[in-house]
A and B are shown apart, each in its own frame.
Chain A
Amino acid sequence: MLHIKMCSIIIKNSNKKIGKFMGNRTKEYRQYFLFLSPAMIILLFIYANSIVRIVWYSVIKWKSFTPLQEVSYENFYKVFTYPHFLEILKNNFIIIIVTIPVVVIFALFCAQFLYFRVFGYRIYRYLFFLPVILPNVVAAIIWSFILHEFGVVNTIFQKIGLEVLTVNWFGNPKWAIYGLILTIIWKDVGFAIILFLAKLSMVDPQLYDAAKVDGANEIQTIKFITIPQILSVIVLYIILELIGLLNFIFGYVFVMTRGGPGYSTTPLEFLTYLFAFRLHKFGMANASAVILFVITLILVLIYFNSSRKKEV
């Protein structure tokens, strides 16, 4: 997911004129396709082909692994009326609604004070970035042990006599999803910090000097200077994180909870996996893949639209 965020910062208006070659237009065209063809062959096979197929597979009937050529919307109907479908949407919703505000607010706070060069800011900047590069499977393994029933957190609470606070994170359907969210926040916040910090370095420092003269404290400067100044990056980050939380959390779920207990930590992405490779319901798997695809497509279009308007 990292690479996606990386580039996304950069997407700019792509109609920058460059080709200044004179010469035969047809020859140009042929060369253009020649240069593009290797990439296109791979992308057509991996993406275009798959997307067409999932759409097609989702409207035909299946008998175990063989498609029967009969069109119906039954698969979608079955997914929407699947007993746990609402719970799964709720899981996605909780993950998004908790993670995004926490990451954004915490990252803004950290970025602001790293920008102000609090004592030890170099070390902090280095440290805060470590979870970002840690492989997410490894982060998930570490945190599943830390939050385990007899793991670090519960042991510490027991030792200091706060046994009321001990929670069986992954055994309890109510808490499991928050264990997952905690890990995701811990891992994602560093990237947001670096991103906001990079944008902050372009803000006119005189604004902060002026605020100081006016007697504003440092928390107020976040509200009145930083947020308005870097709003465009914050908005882009939120859309990206939305896309990421819908599409790239398979690793965490697979390692930490496998979607359980019950369906309490299964997001839409993982549901597709369950349908296809655990429950062997191929029609429903394709239908839920199509649902995921359509939601993401809408978000990507919104993202492209807003990143083109606001130069990042």
Chain B
Amino acid sequence: MKAKIINFLIRLMVQAIFIIFSITILFALYYLIINALKSEPEFYQSQFALPSKIDINRIKDVWVDGNIGRAFKNSLIMGSSTVLIVIPIGALAGYAFSNFKFKHNTLLYMSVISTMYFSPMILIIPIFLIYSKIMLVNTYIGTIIIYSGINLAFGIFLLTTFFRGIPDEIIEAATIDGASRFQILKSIIIPLSTPAIFTLGLMVFYNVWNDLIIGVIFMQKPEYKPIMAAISQFRGKWDSNNTAIFLGALIATIPIMLIYGFAQKYFIRGMTLGSIK
């Protein structure tokens, strides 16, 4: 009986804590949305109130004049290019790591995987010096190469793990039928791994979209800035325009929330992949 009362009190406390935490989350989103849609004078009147009206011209202004539209496009281009590079290269390497047995395979694999734990900060100085020499600063291609390099370890990791789970019998049967390594990868392993590849694509796109550091350093011209660099470095007349910053942040969040809304299963599955087994 006593335990029951204590548990009831504990549950009350838990609800209180959970509700408070939920409120901070919901409030943060509410705060972002309402202030994004306000005009600057309205923001100074009250930061809590709903916007009186939604001004399409203001949104257009931030999108065009504030360079957010351009940045949005840049991030889309670089994000999808990086996905298209990381998936095939990661699949080839993942296949090598999961299906060949060599003495130093594990060591090599571990060194490859370890690259994803290091801050991009350690690469930036040498690569910046090289890029300045060969004129790759402020280019899509140069930046996409860096993004691919940063995300490759994760791609290899995810696909190697997934490929290892594919039953050997299927692969052996194909080998007996005379399929080459490449054919096995292309027509058996890849089709069996579509969920993993989909998850990988999402995560790589998400990472590129969220990147700040590479964008800030390698895309210094306003017309090449990716989205996160653009919203954190508003210039000129948008410099101290609070609601424009909110609007930029909201625009940058929308694609992420859409992806999460539609593919939540893949996000969470990717995260708990190993622990469920």
List A residues 102-149 near B (Cβ within 8 Å). Answer: 109-110, 113, 118-120, 123-124, 127-131, 133-139, 141-143, 145-146
Picked from A10, A120, A124, A186, the residue with its CB within 8 Å of the CB of B24 is: A186
Number of B residues, CB within 8 Å of A: 109
In the complex, are the beta carbons of B96 and A35 less than 8 A apart? Answer: yes
Docked pose: A120 CA to B168 CA in angstroms? 43
A residues in contact with B273, CB < 8 Å: 6, 9-10
A1-41 toward B: CB 8 Å interface, digit per residue (1/0)?
01111110111101111111100000011011001101110
Contact for A50 among B48, B123, B175, B210, CB less than 8 A: B123
Q: Which of A7, A109, A129, A137 contacts B212 (CB 8 A)?
A: A137
**Complex CA distance for A267 and B112, rounded to whole angstroms:** 26
For the complex, what is the distance from the CA of A223 to the CA of B256, rounded to whole Å? 37
Give residues 209-242 of A contacting B (CB, 8 Å): 215-219, 233
Residues of B with C-beta under 8 A to A277: 217
- Is residue A260 within 8 Å, beta carbon to beta carbon, of the partner chain? no
Question: Chain A contact residues: over half helix, strand or loop, or mixed?
Answer: helix
Contact B92 A39 (CB under 8 A): yes
Report chain B residues within 8 Å CB of A272.
121-122, 125
Which residues of B have CB within 8 Å of A181? Answer: none
A54 at the interface (CB under 8 A from B): yes
B106: which A residues are within 8 A, CB to CB? 14-15
Question: For the complex, is A160 an interface residue (Cβ under 8 Å from B)?
Answer: no
In the complex, the chain A residue whose C-beta lies closest to that of B184 is: A21
Q: A250 an interface residue at 8 Å Cβ cutoff?
A: yes
Beta-carbon contact of B99 and A246 below 8 Å: no
Inter-chain contact A251/B228, CB cutoff 8 Å = yes
The CA of A46 and the CA of B112, in the complex, are separated in Å by: 12
Q: Which residue of B lies closest to A9 (CB)?
A: B274
- Residue B89 CB within 8 A of the other chain: yes
Neighbouring A residues of B245 by C-beta, 8 Å: 141
Bound Cα distance from A199 to B272, whole angstroms: 9
Q: How far is the CB of A288 from chain B (nearest CB, A)?
A: 9
Contact (Cβ within 8 A) B168 A20: yes
Known contacts A155-B47, A198-B276; is-contact A138 B122 (Cβ 8 Å):
no
The answer, yes or no, to whether A71 is at the interface (CB within 8 Å) is no
CA–CA, A50 and B117, complex, Å: 15
Considering the complex, give the chain B residue whose CB is closest to the CB of A23. Answer: B175
Query: What is B's interface to A at a CB cutoff of 8 Å?
Result: 2-3, 6-7, 10-11, 14-15, 17-18, 21-22, 24-29, 31-32, 35, 47-48, 88-90, 92-93, 95-102, 105-106, 108-110, 112-119, 121-129, 145-146, 148-154, 156-158, 160-161, 164, 168, 171-172, 175, 181, 203-204, 206-207, 209-210, 212-213, 216-217, 228, 231-232, 242, 245-246, 249, 252-253, 256-257, 260, 267-268, 270-276
18 contacts between A and B (CB under 8 A): A3-B207, A7-B161, A11-B157, A14-B109, A32-B100, A42-B145, A43-B112, A47-B118, A53-B125, A131-B25, A133-B206, A141-B232, A145-B246, A202-B275, A218-B10, A218-B11, A233-B275, A255-B232
